[in-house]
Structures are given as structure tokens and as C-alpha cells.
């Protein structure tokens, strides 16, 4: 199952993405303007296009 994390570029959302990736989960994250400090290529998160 893929987890949807709303606000994935913010601090709480970024932490959720990292924790989910560490647990082996696939995530999809939303963001307002651009992916913040997350490295979407290195994490299991995929940005949601507008």
C-alpha cells in the first residue's frame, strides 16, 4: 500500500516520509511549490504533479 503524505516538504511531513521509508513503505507526498529538503530520487517518496 502506498501512503499519501500531505505536506511532504514541511518538517512533519518530511519526517513521516523518512520514517515510512525506513519501515520499507512506499510513499507519495504533496507539496505547495517545490519539494523542500527531501531528495525524492533517494527516498521512496514520489512528488504528486499538479
3-state secondary structure 10-24: CHHHHHHHHHHHHCC
Chain segment 13-27, per-residue pLDDT in tens: 888 888 988 899 988
Q: How far apart are CA 26 and CA 37, in angstroms?
A: 18
Quote the cell numbers at residue 27: 510513499
pTM, to two decimals: 0.57
Chain segment 1-50, per-residue pLDDT in tens: 888 888 887 888 888 888 988 899 988 888 776 555 555 555 555 665 65
Q: In the chain, what are the domain boundaries?
A: 2-47
Amino acid at each position: 500500500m502506498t501512503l499519501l503524505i500531505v505536506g511532504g516538504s514541511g518538517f512533519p511531513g518530511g519526517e513521516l516520509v523518512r520514517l515510512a521509508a525506513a519501515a520499507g513503505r512506499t510513499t507519495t507526498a504533496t507539496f505547495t511549490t517545490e519539494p523542500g529538503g527531501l531528495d525524492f530520487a533517494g527516498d521512496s517518496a514520489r512528488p504528486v504533479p499538479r
